[in-house]
Every structure is written in structure tokens, then in C-alpha cells.
Amino acid sequence: KNEVEQSPQNLTAQEGEFITINCSYSVGISALHWLQQHPGGGIVSLFMLSSGKKKHGRLIATINIQEKHSSLHITASHPRDSAVYICAAKETSGSRLTFGEGTQLTVNP
């Protein structure tokens, strides 16, 4: 069992739909990252959070420490949101990140 698990692995949506990607982790963490990897391969850090909720534009990230679960939401999705979304847990015991396998999101016009 992976220490960080994401669901779904693949997600196809129509433009404008509300999207949720889930991340569960089994290790103790000090923070959780949400990353975006575009088809060209570059990685962009979207959020880093340790509690509660963060919002940036159409993106919202939430985390429930007790349940060891985080979600990434995209409101009013757009084809340019098509990418792989990766959650990564920063363990309390060190500085390394442990990554989920990623969620491939495709938003169709």
C-alpha cells in the first residue's frame, strides 16, 4: 500500500464542471503539497497546507488532519486545466516529499 494515494487516477470532465481530486496519506505529515504537471513535464506548486483550506483563483485545497485526507477542487473547469495533479506529503520526520501517483485530468471543451 502506497503511503500517499490519490483518486481517481484518471478524470475526464466537460468544461465548466466542478472537479474534485482526493488524496489520502498514512504517514504523519507536517504539510501537504498539491502540484500540477503539464504535458510538457514542468511542475508547478499549487498549494502547500497543513490545516484548513486555501483558495487561489478557481482552485481550492482542503485538508483534514484527523482523517489524513486532502482534496483539490477546481471550480468552472477549463480545457487549460488539463494536466496531471499530484499530491505530496512532507513527513514530520524529515524534509522529503512522498508523492501520490497523480491524477490525469482532461477537460473537454
* Among the listed residues 11, 13, 21, 35, the single contact to other proteins using CB under 8 A: 35
Residue 34 in contact with other proteins, rule: CB under 8 A: no
Residue 86 in contact with other proteins, rule: CB under 8 A: yes
Q: Looking at beta carbons only, is 9 or 108 nearer to other proteins?
A: 9
* Among the listed residues 3, 31, 68, 104, the single contact to other proteins using CB under 8 A: 31
Spatial CA neighbour of 21 closest among 76, 86, 75, 72:
72
Q: How far apart are CA 41 and CA 83, in angstroms?
A: 9
CB of 14 to other proteins, least distance (A): 27
Residue 105 in contact with other proteins, rule: CB under 8 A: no
H/E/C letters for each residue in 43-109?
Answer: EEEEEEECCEEEEECCEEEEEECCCCEEEEEECCCCHHHCEEEEEEEEECCCCCEEECCCEEEEEEC
Q: How far apart are CA 68 and CA 32, in angstroms?
A: 10
Residues numbered 40 to 79 that lie near other proteins (CB under 8 A) are: 41-45, 48-50
Q: SS3 of 2, please?
A: coil
Q: Looking at beta carbons only, is 19 or 86 nearer to other proteins?
A: 86
Q: Residue numbers of the site for other proteins (CB under 8 A)? A: 30-31, 33, 35, 41-45, 48-50, 86, 88, 94-102
